[in-house]
Amino acid sequence: MRIISTVPSQTELLADLSLEKEVVGITKFCVHPDSWYRNKTRIGGTKNLNVDKIRELRPDLIIANKEENVRDQIEELSRFTKVLVTEIKTPEDNLKLITDLGHATDRINEAKLLKTQLAFCLKSIQSIKSQTVIYLIWSDPYMTVGGDTYINAMLDTCGLQNIYRERLRYPQLTISELQEADPDLLFLSSEPFPFKEKHLLAFQKILPMTKIHLVDGEIFSWYGTRLIKVKTHLDQLLESISTKP
């Protein structure tokens, strides 16, 4: 089987299913595992796939995603090969994703093991109660996450209350709106915009009573098996939130 992955988090899952030989193409954003990123053929970005290059690779199966990829491109690809389109809305959806990809790629036993590991991780996440949060993903303009996003579902799993959960997708915010919202917590994600310490210090002046954290965006936005690898980092973050005065 010759497989192409069009989404970074699903590429990592395919690697964890021991599909080194089978996966022949990945996107330029598929940074995990590093050896794949350095050595496998890149077929463009998630939103601008190189259809001609994909065709040249003669895939038997393309693993795509409803939100991450562009519908017209996926429909074009489906005209000449099989395309499996996933849809992940909550952390629990990852359990089905692992099973589905295990069956699609003949890695059923490997999938069962990964599913068990992930289920344990989800069950053991510490739940922080009664803390409001704003999660920023972009600067200039500032953008946060609404209630219909995977990130919101992850915040929910951690017991955190997304102030903008009643809004959809990725709303834009102004400084005055941030100040008016007055969150208990402000998370500055490492992706897609790479917030740094200088941003944290600037926001602390604007929101002096808010606890501000630089967070690994892969913890909250990558589905598949990423949580298994970053669970310790998530535990440390939640512990710091629950104990910090």
CB atoms near residue 220 (< 10 Å): 29
φ/ψ (deg, to 5) at 127: -105, 120
CA distance 172 to 102: 38
| Rg from Cα positions in the chain | 19
pLDDT band at 126 (very low <50, low <70, confident <90, very high): confident
CA distance 82 to 223: 22
For the chain, domains (ranges, CATH) are 3-122 (3.40.50.1980), 131-243 (3.40.50.1980)
Structural tokens at position 6 = 């069009």
Query: 142-143 and 172-173 as β-strands: parallel, antiparallel, unpaired?
Result: antiparallel
Q: What is the pLDDT of residues 14-33, one digit of tens each?
A: 999 999 999 999 999 999 99
- Predicted confidence at residue 244, as pLDDT, reads 52
Structural tokens at position 164 = 């903008």
- Is the pLDDT at 243 greater than 90, yes or no? no
3-state secondary structure of 51: helix
pTM: 0.92
CA distance 229 to 206: 34
CA distance 130 to 138: 25
Q: 181 and 128 in contact (C-beta within 8 Å)?
A: no
Q: What is the pLDDT of residues 195-221, one digit of tens each?
A: 999 999 999 999 999 999 999 999 999
Q: What is the mean pLDDT of the chain?
A: 96
Q: Which of 5, 13, 8, 6 is nearest to 217 (CA)?
A: 8
Work out the percent of the chain whose per-residue pLDDT is above 70: 99
Q: 220 and 149 in contact (C-beta within 8 Å)?
A: no
Work out the percent of the chain whose per-residue pLDDT is above 90: 96
CA distance 178 to 182: 6
192 upstream amide cis, omega within 30 of 0:
yes
